[in-house]
Amino acid sequence: MRSHWPVIIIGGGAAGLYLSGLMEDCLLLEKRSSCGLKLRLTGGGACNLAHEGSPDDFSRHFHEKRAFVAAVAQAHPTMAIRQHFKSLGVDTITREDGKVFPRSGRSQDVVDALLSAAKDVITDCKVEEISKGGIFTVKTTKGIFTSDRLVIATGGMSVPSTGSEGDGYALAASFGHKIIPVKPALCRIKLADRLDDVEGITVPDMSFTLDGHIWRGPVLFTRTGISGPAVMNASRFVEKGMPISLHFAAVDSATIRAQAGKKKALGAIQAVTGLPSRLVQALLPPDVLDKQVASLSKNDMKTITGTLADWKTTCSTEGELPYATVTRGGVDTKDIKRKTMESRLVEGLYIIGECLDVDGECGGYNLSFAFMGAHAVASSIRKAHPLPAPQDQRS
Ligand SMILES: Cc1cc2nc3c(=O)[nH]c(=O)nc-3n(C[C@H](O)[C@H](O)[C@H](O)COP(=O)(O)OP(=O)(O)OC[C@H]3O[C@@H](n4cnc5c(N)ncnc54)[C@H](O)[C@@H]3O)c2cc1C
């Protein structure tokens, strides 16, 4: 294997593999024994690789990084990603909710297609140190390589068994890049006050208030807190000890009283809210739930309606990073050119994918951002080194 390359890519995940397939001549270095380990887990093994919609819609799902993401989304929109996969033999379908998956429903097909297009790959090869004189020097567990251009595509810090252990932060920092502190995103939220025996219950449609916003959707109760799409999207905003209010049901006392008959409070509440009895029992005191509706006092009613409308506690996402879907934080985007993903600090250095301080919502946005960044790097390098015109190739 030669030691000098025009381009070296560090990391064989979504971004690195996609880029390798777009380049003419490059070396990809992957520290695990196979590439795309995280990619295989995506979308529950089905790989939600993109989301239907315009580039503008797309970038709206990236919070404060909307403007940063917009340029790469314009240059390589969802349709282009789908076409690229089609050219690799992976047909895609769009679900009713706009999420795009491989038609086969198998993330392994996406990994295999990307691998088949990838150029030279060395696995079990961890990059330990990078430096630049005139060219880049890349020290790895399998020797030293050099390159004209270097791409860091090492991912974030979630699910570290897939190889994403935050190595890219130290590598980028060694070139002077600022690292925004990392925290989990798209993860469960832990609640300070535990609700007993509610694990596994899903409320199909409820809202909660966090960080001044109201979030709505199905909420799943876990051993330590809550999960579900809205919870995951909200999780990036959680700071330790932040107040959270869960709005189970808006119900007034007259509606409960109308259930009087022979019903006890528990039955009446279930009848008017549709909430499972285990959840109602976890929220409200047993002596109140056991009363006949007719004998509920004003105070009892206040407890019932107040708790169901606005159950307050505090929350955190501490310790969730290894289990999160993505990492918030990473290489500061202020030092990255948004059209090319090239470093403003080091010419010829590029940083793409989740290693950057960019995190999108659930729905295929994070994989797409990894692919879009890869495309931006490939275009930038191709512009700097255009392929010879056909007549030049003949001569
Ligand atoms: C369970 C799960 C499900 C997900 N589902 C979806 C989904 O359906 N849709 C979606 O859009 N997003 C999803 N995501 C998020 C998405 O997978 C990531 O955002 C995306 O993989 C990031 O791509 P990346 O290339 O930046 O990093 P990664 O895919 O994490 O790849 C980084 C690679 O770099 C390698 N590496 C790291 N350090 C070194 C080093 N020093 N030397 C050599 N190699 C190194 C790693 O081994 C790894 O292979 C999911 C994430 C998880 C955890």
**Of all protein residues, whose CA lies closest to atom 35 belonging to ligand 1?**
11
- Local confidence band at 394 (pLDDT 50, 70, 90 cut-offs): very low
Q: What is the rounded CA–CA span in Å between residue 371 and residue 19?
A: 8
DSSP reduced 3-state for 282: helix
Mutate to test the pocket of ligand 1, among 34, 52, 58, 164 (most ligand atoms within 8 A of CB): 164
pLDDT tens by residue, 52-102: 999 999 999 999 999 999 999 999 999 999 999 999 999 999 999 999 999
Helix, strand and coil content of the chain, in percent to the nearest 5, comes to 40, 25, 35
Domain ranges of the chain: 4-184+327-394, 189-316
Q: What is the 155 CA–ligand 1 centroid distance (Å)?
A: 5
- Ligand 1 pocket residues where CB is under 6 Å: 10-16, 29-32, 35, 37-39, 41-43, 47-48, 126-127, 153-155, 158-159, 162-164, 167, 325-326, 353-355, 364-367, 370
- Find where tokens 């002596």 sit: 287
Q: Ligand 1, residues 325, 352, 372: which to mutate, most atoms within 8 A of Cβ? A: 325
Considering only the top CATH level, what class is 4-184+327-394? alpha beta
Return the closest-CA partner of residue 108 out of 122, 90, 126: 90
Please give the distance, rounded to the nearest whole angstrom, from the Cα atom of residue 21 to the centre of ligand 1: 17
pLDDT-derived band at 388 (thresholds 50, 70, 90) equals low
For the chain, the residue count is: 395
What Å distances lie between residue 96 and 101, 133, 330, CA to CA? 11, 52, 33
Q: Is the pTM of this model over 0.85?
A: yes
> How far is Cα 336 from Cα 361, in angstroms, rounded to an integer?
21
Give pLDDT tens digits for 135-144. Answer: 999 999 999 9
